[in-house]
Copies of this chain bind each other. A is one copy, B any other.
Amino acid sequence: MRAYLFGVWRTVAQRYGFVEWEAPTVEPTELYLKKSGGELPTQLFRFKDQGERDISLRPELTASLGRMVAACHLDYNKPLKWYEIGSCFRYEKPQKGRLREFVQFNADILGEGSEGADAELLALAIDCMRELGFTADDFVVRVSDREVWLRFAADHGIPEERTPDFLSVVDKYERDRPEVCSEKLAAFGLTREELVSFIQNPPAGISPRFDAVLADLQARGLADYVQLDLCVVRGLAYYTGLVFEIFDKAHSLRAVAGGGRYDRLVETLSDGSVKMAATGFAMGDAVIAHLIDSCPAARALRDAALQPNTCDVFLALAAPEMRPQMLRVATSLREAGLRVDLPLAPAKLAKQLRHAERLGATYAAVIGAEFPAVELKHLASRTSQQLQAGELAAALTRQS
């Protein structure tokens, strides 16, 4: 299953001109305390190594990316379009769509602050979903703009230092019971009704950035997948502008993916020495796996890709004394790039052919006393042809 997801992520990222990078699995804990905020620091797999250094298993990839880019950005042309697929770790109660070790696909564009970068990134996220077999009936990209909320907070007299707390009330607005939400908002001199009305009927043109991105996606034919939804704030402290989350249409699962602009993270991680605009998103393997299970078209694509077909041809041995000849044939077929399996120990021919079928081999080539004459069986159709061993590679390459 993961191999299938990895393949789709990699294929789509490459179509968008993204290149792969790699982060270390273990990082100094400080890296995460410095930047993330939110609940992340409490969820770290954190420990002291034998040299008494405070280290953590990476809970996400963006901090490593920011640090790496701050250190070596002069070596690359901007904008950077980078992706990574790797394991991340969070110490929390395992639950549906959340595991302690999970895999994330991260894609980021650094060194470009314009809405063109936001749109390119959203298009990539949408195309990952489309490539997995999902349509606009299955998922929606909810896009929001933190700038809108910063202006809202300023307009309502919320002091700057309390704005992060206000954002976290908005972040929890959908999940909190109304009376809890009301109570939290009262502390900011706001009523829940004001908030609801602002979210449900945002003034036209409230986010010029969103409007520009929507126009871009419209031109790409991808506008149907996105909607402005100010509910989305994203938990992490480092986001600065446009943020988004992908949800299943029924909203029955956690977010499938999430991300946004983080224009100040590289600066923070480099202690102010490197300023670089950035936007990125992450998609984990757990929620998307549930969503694939629940969508027939996506499930069919996945099942087709996961059909066991590990083998183009199985070399069956009908005459034990021909084992050296069989091994020589195996080498030459493998040198021709074919996927070849063979019996490792003597076994009856019928048993060998059964094993070949279970492996999902396309062909079995029966090597017997008549060698170099060989019988090539197409296992699914149960048809066969006679040919010479020397013709096998060409015949199989033509037919596979």
Instruction: Show 7 A/B contacts (Cβ-Cβ < 8 Å), sorted by A.
Output: A15-B337, A17-B310, A25-B87, A47-B47, A79-B344, A215-B324, A219-B327
Query: A171 an interface residue at 8 Å Cβ cutoff?
Result: no
A328 in contact (CB, < 8 A): yes
**Interface stretch of the complex, out of A114-122, A247-255, A261-269, A365-373:** A114-122
Decide: B344 and A117 in contact? CB cutoff 8 A: yes
Bound form: Cα–Cα A71–B237 in Å: 43
- Tell yes or no: A323 within 8 A of B by CB: yes
CB pair B15–A345 under 8 Å, yes or no, is no
A151 at interface, CB cutoff 8 A: no
Nearest B residue (CB) for A354: B77
One of B101, B221, B345 near A331 (C-beta < 8 A):
B221
> How distant is the Cα of A17 from the Cα of B361 in the complex, in angstroms?
9
Least CB distance, A147 to chain B, in whole angstroms = 19
> Which residues of A53-82 are within 8 A (CB) of B?
57, 77, 79, 81
Interface string of A190-225 (1 = CB under 8 A from B): 000000000000000000000000011011111000
**Chain B nearest CB, measured from A300 CB (Å):** 19
Give the interface SS of chain A, mostly helix, strand, loop or mixed. Answer: mixed
A343 within 8 A of B: yes
**Complex Cα–Cα for A341 and B18 (A):** 9
Complex CA–CA separation, A331 to B219 (angstroms): 9
Top 4 nearest A-B pairs by Cβ distance?
A: A47-B47, A17-B341, A219-B324, A116-B344
On whether the beta carbons of B219 and A15 are closer than 8 Å, the reply is no
For A327, what are the chain B residues with a Cβ–Cβ distance below 8 Å? Answer: 216, 219-220
Give chain B nearest CB distance to A285 CB in angstroms.
11
Whole-angstrom CA separation of A2 from B22 in the bound complex: 9
> Does any Cβ of B come within 8 Å of A149's Cβ?
no
Q: Which residue of B lies closest to A12 (CB)?
A: B334
User: What's the Cα separation between A222 and B328 when bound, in Å?
Assistant: 10
A6's nearest neighbour on chain B, judged by CB, is B20
CB pair B219–A334 under 8 Å, yes or no, is no
Which residues from 289 to 330 on chain A have a C-beta closer than 8 Å to any C-beta of chain B?
A: 308, 310-311, 323-325, 327-328, 330
